[in-house]
Structure 1
């Protein structure tokens, strides 16, 4: 078995390409993904300069990762929705309604009607499961109307945006529900909602070993089916870069310590004498970030390694041909919206846990951020193309813009203007790219 550029024809073609084109061919990196990473780097450096050195600090980057978690989770589902040439405008309202259900369940209904005491582990488990079921059921209802009743997704989800936002208000007559269960709050991050320095390094090592295993497994599969192989140096390069990114992210997470007040309380509760220079306790990786990464891995596997994922992209590429090929297009479409509802409910758990409350404003305008993240991440509104990783990077980019604008003191109306402009720009760039390809 030969490497990807060792055949005579490939060597002749490679000699006609420039160094950068040969590098892209050998590593098989996506040009659009590299462009998005370059844009993210430029935005980070620019915001760091404009904010007086506040943006690229461990504290802000750690908070940025937590803030991006719920949007990134929902963006992975929005990829499938948009790939099939649909849209879901109701994800923010589903998040708000599911979050309100979780809040009411653990703060009011379960203690009052079922007698489950506060602090019981069943309290947050039942509340969380109830919210996930509600989100999935809403997605199933909307998916059924879209797939089997033939109502356009734009209209159904626009109606859902209004219905579920009103439903969240109706559950509590507009009142905020708080506080959340202590264990439930771990999903929101914070000092207690993080895994600490030691476990963060353990996770990093496991992740690096996973990257190496994936590269080796992919190379073995290529050999098995006699596909062209990447050069060994390209495999080493990709593995090294991925591991450096993982280790760098953990280093940043471990560089952000607990606030001094929480450290003092922790020392008092555990009989620890504080040294003169103070006690540094690292946050480590936040639990919502781990949840987002886990969802990203599962969704990537679902889209790339399962029949369902192949059906989704087949429907997006040509719905008529997919139906003629025997694919149950309506059932697949309904499952996509069920999955979107489930992911919105997971985002609701993270958002309400982070706020330690369920409010009627929970998830407001999240649909804009989720759609923008998917489109900026390379998901084509024409259907048939999109990646989970790109959507998650798009969510990070959108949240970076919002976080940077907050640091710069930009008013909320102007923030919305800039986000809207970025969304239009991303769609225009996608249109130009499709025309050139």
Structure 2
């Protein structure tokens, strides 16, 4: 009996040791597994329509706006705060940018609609507004010691109605054509550009892995076996190539290609086709994710954020200016809200009063589902993005099978509660 028990326990010990050797986050594996299950279930349920290139392309661009804000929400929650105003702040930034494009620049200043200068001016103004409002929230929380829940709850009401006032309650659009390119389907790299991006991403990934290994060796830290490095590298390469191939597989409608050829004075060759490729909005998300990850893992600001979240009192006693840190964190999420406003309004090609509605709940849910602990001190950027993708997959899948919006929100709420419970159980068992 003792021998049999030992034999039964052996596979479990081996699987754990493999994950330890390869330094793979088992919680991340669980999230990826959940995402795969969701995709397979809805693909079967919809008769193979969920995993088509067209739907995956749409799923990708629909996830970007919430995912961008979720990366900033990680920093906020890690420091034991919360931000309930992100959806309303997005609306205010969107309203500012829309008014600049449709009223101020063309009517007050006389810059013709479609001028290349309009989009940059509008975006810079939106980013500035987001940073100022976010920093103001941080000042109220950090220096006046008003709880973040109250400050941002007030912001939820204030900025939603400021957005309404800026536009007199009217939908603003159409937006500048150059601005519109940042929304997704109207601005992509094309097939060739997407493959080049994939190659650059692979080379950058390999460089990061080699650099990290050399850094560990130089500091006499233990490193993974070479086979483990190659295995993980192969997984990353396969994921990047698969992602690019999927987006390239969604073909541009023939009628649209024909119009583009006619605009150039050319004739569309018979049988010609081309794919959309990687949207510019996804590139924005990739840049944001990279920058936020570097900030979290490689900078003094990131170390201060996680140290403060782990033990605020000890962080203050060690010399960290936690008040100024709070201002910086809320300014960061303010900028990210403005960037999300760019993507969201550009995808719709107009600003509407309901833009960003309930996004605050989706953003918080994405961060929590992605493993950010509400108790503070723990969270990852890639986890938040994956959490946003899981939520959007659920909502898109339910919409495709005809589930009404109220029931979709019920399911998302249940999933959020289950995710928090699973996270609690996981941390208790792993001792985190």
Mean Cα deviation higher: 119-128 or 329-338: 119-128
Counterpart of 1:429 in structure 2 is: 422
2:200 alignment partner, SS class: helix
Counterpart of 1:230 in structure 2 is: 224
Q: Deviations over 1:331-384 (max 9, x none)?
A: 001100000000000000000001000111110011111111100111000100
TM-score in terms of structure 2 length:
0.96
Taking structure 1 as reference, are residues 258 and 383 closer, same or farther at Cα in structure 2, changes over 3 Å only? same
Matched, 1:317 2:317: no
Matching residue within 376, 389, 398 for 2:391: 398
The alignment of Structure 1 onto Structure 2 pairs a total of residues equal to 421
d(CA) in 1 for partners of 2:421, 2:73: 19
Counterpart of 2:372 in structure 1 is: 379
Q: Deviations over 1:139-175 (max 9, x none)?
A: 0111110111011111110110000001111112210
d(CA) in 1 for partners of 2:206, 2:116: 38
Counterpart of 1:330 in structure 2 is: 323
d(CA) in 2 for partners of 1:324, 1:180: 50
Counterpart of 2:7 in structure 1 is: none
Counterpart of 2:79 in structure 1 is: 84
Matched, 1:253 2:259: no
Q: Following superposition, which runs of at least 4 residues in structure 1 exceed 6 angstroms of deviation?
A: none
Kept after mapping to 1: 8 A contact 2:191/2:248? yes
d(CA) in 1 for partners of 2:12, 2:359: 43
Matched, 1:57 2:52: yes
Taking structure 1 as reference, are residues 255 and 154 closer, same or farther at Cα in structure 2, changes over 3 Å only? same
Matching residue within 126, 135, 141 for 1:140: 135
Taking structure 1 as reference, are residues 17 and 403 closer, same or farther at Cα in structure 2, changes over 3 Å only? closer
Counterpart of 1:96 in structure 2 is: 91
Taking structure 1 as reference, are residues 350 and 16 closer, same or farther at Cα in structure 2, changes over 3 Å only? closer
Counterpart of 2:258 in structure 1 is: 264
Shift of 1:272: 3.7
d(CA) in 2 for partners of 1:16, 1:99: 54
RMSD of the TM alignment (CA)?
A: 1.2
d(CA) in 2 for partners of 1:100, 1:259: 32
Taking structure 1 as reference, are residues 71 and 147 closer, same or farther at Cα in structure 2, changes over 3 Å only? same
Shift of 1:275: 4.3
Matched, 1:367 2:365: no
Matching residue within 185, 191, 194 for 1:200: 194
Shift of 1:106: 0.8
d(CA) in 1 for partners of 2:135, 2:20: 42
d(CA) in 1 for partners of 2:135, 2:332: 8
d(CA) in 2 for partners of 1:168, 1:35: 40
Shift of 1:136: 0.7
Taking structure 1 as reference, are residues 55 and 16 closer, same or farther at Cα in structure 2, changes over 3 Å only? closer
d(CA) in 2 for partners of 1:155, 1:215: 43
Counterpart of 2:279 in structure 1 is: 286
Matched, 1:156 2:145: no
1:393 alignment partner, SS class: helix
Name stretches of at least 5 consecutive residues in structure 1 with no aligned partner.
1-14
Shift of 1:122: 1.7
d(CA) in 2 for partners of 1:270, 1:19: 62
Kept after mapping to 1: 8 A contact 2:258/2:267? no
d(CA) in 2 for partners of 1:41, 1:272: 43
Matched, 1:106 2:101: yes
TM-score in terms of structure 1 length:
0.94
Shift of 1:17: 6.6
d(CA) in 2 for partners of 1:115, 1:355: 25
Counterpart of 1:213 in structure 2 is: 207
